[in-house]
Amino acid sequence: MKISEKEVEHIARLSRLELEPEEKPRMAEQLGKILDYMAKLNELDTEGTEPTSHVLPIQNVFREDGVARHFAGADLMASAPKKDKGHYQVPKILGS
Amino acid sequence: MEFEAVIGLEVHVQINTKSKIFCGCPTKFGEEPNRNTCPICLGMPGVLPVLNREAVNLGLKTALATGCKINPLSRFSRKNYFYPDLPKGYQISQYELPLAERGRVCIKTGGKEKAIGITRIHLEEDAGKSIHGENLGDPASSYVDFNRTGVPLMEIVSEPEMHSPEEAREYLQNLKSILEYIEVSDCNMEEGSLRCDANISLRPVGQKELGTKTELKNMNSFRNVQRALEHEVERQTHLLQNGKAIIQGSRLWDAAKNETVSMREKEEAHDYRYFPEPDLPPVAVDQDWINGIEKTLPELPAAKRERFVSQYGIPEYDAGVLTASRSVADYYERCVSLAGNPKIVSNWVMGDVLRVLKEKNMTVEQFSVTPERLASMIGMISSGTISGAIAKTVFEEMSATGKDPKAIVEEKGLAQISDEKAIEEMVDAVLASHPVELETYKKGKETLFGFFVGQAMKAAKGKANPSLINKILKEKLSRLKGCDQ
């Protein structure tokens, strides 16, 4: 299946990936090949096979509604690249 | 050209659970920032979300209360997008198989009843909260608090079946009332535990095809939902009448400026690439589970309203006001069980009780005038101990001081004067001190009767039995008139 460079750019933006110009044709080719392989799977006769979203036949795995604290917020925050005043600090979200 | 508005509402409700939807972090509001977090809700690599059973229970309860069909199998999906308050880079939500579908909420506007369809109810996790720039510190930064990340949410989507801002408001109010009755959420719009977005489009009256819609956001009160929609109807009507096109997109409501403004969005913003959440197995709900939840459903607002009309013989309007909140309905019923007189109790609760609660911004449970006290005061009116006018004073005193009505009447000497002799003396005094008015009356200006009643009541400081004043005054005046002729 043919994937255009424009589609590659769109997917890269959604994934927040920056691609060098010379990477784009390579990505287009590889993504196309992956889709070709999926198309091959589509040739299988799945008539009478229930669609599934999970590989294991399990349902209804729950936890009861109880509070459990295993970590201190500050310890978890220790690995954040930037923090201040008890908050995770990130580049400004809203443009000016 | 005449246009018809087509409105659908998307309501997000925080579900009342103790812990988050996929981890054991508390959902408590108002904790210090990032205290209620763990590797699961922070989206650390390798962690496994596990679904909170109670969140499903409360979702099912809502589905039953709104007449939805519960899907025997539902599953979770990942909704992918990047935003700093969404640590995993996706929100766990439900997509093609929601918890429940096809319900309804009944509304009544302008005397007409109508069912508004519910398209679907699904469960999802809430995102965190961002504070921007100088509101906390560095103007070039934003700050993120993940305490709310992973708090269970229910999204309730209506069909586009409302045709006026009033209908939308009524739908929202009735939905909120149901959610409060079944105790699944606090439904506080100001605090954000109930949030509402509205889709609205216009079409020429009679046309079936829908017009281009806009989505309104940021309406944080019921009044604002109605105002924002009214404004948007006006804006779209104006555009269409001038031959201009509606631009599809999201608009933010600005309550201070009373207008909606377009949110600039990137084109790909809605490319969420949903796919089944591999970390969560599907949820299968069987009839036993549904039956168990059904047993926990209380009497719902609509049923209670009907019962109030038939059981207490009060007008439908009264029943509607009294049953809008479950606790007010309980208050009313307790009062009537003690004092009888359903219509009189209704007048007091709808009028003075609700007014004071609003003034004091408190709930009926916190109110110092308990049903017992109100009933006791109403009992004093019906037994003639106090007049209706004095009762107003007693009520104000009760709500200000929290005292018992009997004690107030005794302390302040408010008991009604029903002693005929005492009233006769007062009436005599009034007539004696108003000779001019008396002459005019005798000459035929009978409307002055009310003047004398007022004067006598004033002399009695409002405590005289009004029907006795009337009776005695009538006797005296007709005798005086008779003498002259």
Interface probe for A, chosen from B29, B144, B218, B265 (most Cβ of A below 10 Å), is: B144
The fold for domain B420-484 equals Arc Repressor Mutant, subunit A (1.10.10)
Size of interface A-B (CB pairs under 8 A): 138
Other Cβ atoms closer than 10 A to B67: 15
Q: How far apart are CA B421 and CA B429, in angstroms?
A: 12
Give me the half-sphere count of Cα atoms (radius 13 Å) on the Cβ side of residue B410: 5
Which of B134, B92, B100, B136 lies closest to B117, judged by CA?
B100
Closest in B83, B136, B140 to A87, CB measured? B136
Interface probe for A, chosen from B17, B37, B270 (most Cβ of A below 10 Å), is: B37
Cβ–Cβ below 8 Å for B34 and A77: yes
Give me the half-sphere count of Cα atoms (radius 13 Å) on the Cβ side of residue B119: 14
Asked if residue A87 belongs to a domain, the reply is no
Q: Which DSSP symbol is given to B36?
A: S
Angle, CA of B111, B196 and B65, to the nearest 5°: 60
Locus of tokens 């796919």 = B275
Please give the C-alpha separations between residue B319 and each of B169, B314, B348, in angstroms, as whole numbers. Answer: 19, 7, 13
Q: Which residue has the higher pLDDT, A70 or B283?
A: B283
Asked if residue A53 belongs to a domain, the reply is no
Closest in A13, A71, A93 to B39, CB measured? A71
Per DSSP, helices labelled H in B155-207 are 165-181
Cβ–Cβ below 8 Å for A87 and B143: yes
Q: A40 at the B interface (CB within 8 A)?
A: no
Q: A88 at the B interface (CB within 8 A)?
A: yes
Q: A80 at the B interface (CB within 8 A)?
A: no
Asked if residue A31 belongs to a domain, the reply is yes
Query: Please, are residues B91 and B125 in contact by the beta-carbon 8 Å criterion?
Result: yes
| Identity of the amino acid at B4 | E
Asked if residue A22 belongs to a domain, the reply is yes
Q: A42 at the B interface (CB within 8 A)?
A: no
Cβ–Cβ below 8 Å for B18 and A54: no
Assign residue A67 a region: left if phi > 0, alpha if psi is -120 to 50, beta otherwise?
Answer: beta
Cβ–Cβ below 8 Å for B281 and A89: no
Q: A78 at the B interface (CB within 8 A)?
A: no
Residues in a beta bridge with B343: none
- Residue-range domain boundaries for chain B: 3-292, 301-412, 420-484
Q: How far apart are CA B19 and CA B147, in angstroms?
A: 11
Residue of A nearest to B152 (CA): A65
Query: Please, are residues B3 and B202 in contact by the beta-carbon 8 Å criterion?
Result: yes
Query: Please, are residues A35 and A14 in contact by the beta-carbon 8 Å criterion?
Result: no
Cβ–Cβ below 8 Å for A14 and B273: yes
Interface probe for B, chosen from A62, A82, A85, A94 (most Cβ of B below 10 Å), is: A62
Tally of residues, chain B: 485
Domain that holds residue A12: 5-41
Cβ–Cβ below 8 Å for A92 and B141: yes
**Which residues on A lie below 8 Å from B38 (Cβ)?**
69-71, 76
Asked if residue A57 belongs to a domain, the reply is no
Query: Please, are residues B148 and B178 in contact by the beta-carbon 8 Å criterion?
Result: no
- Looking at residue B269, what is its pLDDT? 52
The enclosing domain of A22 has a CATH number of 1.10.20
Interface probe for B, chosen from A71, A93, A94, A96 (most Cβ of B below 10 Å), is: A93
Distance from CA of A13 to the nearest CA of B (A): 9
Asked if residue A91 belongs to a domain, the reply is no
Q: How many domains does chain A have?
A: 1
Asked if residue A65 belongs to a domain, the reply is no
Q: How far apart are CA A8 and CA B69, in angstroms?
A: 41
Distance from CA of A14 to the nearest CA of B (A): 8
Q: A73 at the B interface (CB within 8 A)?
A: yes
Distance from CA of B37 to the nearest CA of A (A): 6
Assign residue A60 a region: left if phi > 0, alpha if psi is -120 to 50, beta otherwise?
Answer: left
Other Cβ atoms closer than 10 A to B1: 8
Cβ–Cβ below 8 Å for A53 and B18: no
Give me the half-sphere count of Cα atoms (radius 13 Å) on the Cβ side of residue B115: 10
- Looking at residue B89, what is its pLDDT? 92
Asked if residue A77 belongs to a domain, the reply is no
Query: Please, are residues B301 and B178 in contact by the beta-carbon 8 Å criterion?
Result: yes
In the three-class reduction of DSSP (H, G, I as helix; E, B as strand; rest coil), residue B409 is classed as helix
In the three-class reduction of DSSP (H, G, I as helix; E, B as strand; rest coil), residue B352 is classed as helix
User: pLDDT (tens digit, 0 to 9) for every residue of chain B, 485 residues total?
Assistant: 789 999 999 999 999 999 999 999 999 888 899 999 999 999 999 999 999 999 999 999 999 999 999 999 999 999 998 888 999 999 999 998 999 999 999 998 888 889 999 999 999 999 999 988 888 888 889 999 999 999 999 999 999 999 999 999 999 999 999 999 999 999 988 888 999 999 999 999 989 899 999 999 888 888 899 999 999 999 999 999 998 888 888 898 988 888 888 886 654 456 888 999 999 999 999 999 999 999 999 999 999 999 999 999 999 999 999 999 999 999 999 999 998 899 999 999 999 999 999 998 888 999 988 999 998 889 888 887 887 788 888 888 898 888 888 888 778 777 777 777 778 888 888 888 888 888 888 877 878 888 888 888 887 777 777 777 888 888 888 877 666 54
Asked whether residue A96 carries a pLDDT value surpassing 50, the answer given is: no
- Looking at residue B482, what is its pLDDT? 65
Q: A46 at the B interface (CB within 8 A)?
A: no
Residue of B nearest to A83 (CA): B143
Cβ–Cβ below 8 Å for A54 and B281: yes
Q: A44 at the B interface (CB within 8 A)?
A: no
Interface probe for B, chosen from A61, A70, A84, A94 (most Cβ of B below 10 Å), is: A61
**Which residues on A lie below 8 Å from B25 (Cβ)?**
67-69
Cβ–Cβ below 8 Å for A53 and B131: no
ipTM of this complex: 0.85
**Which residues on B lie below 8 Å from A58 (Cβ)?**
281
Distance from CA of A59 to the nearest CA of B (A): 5
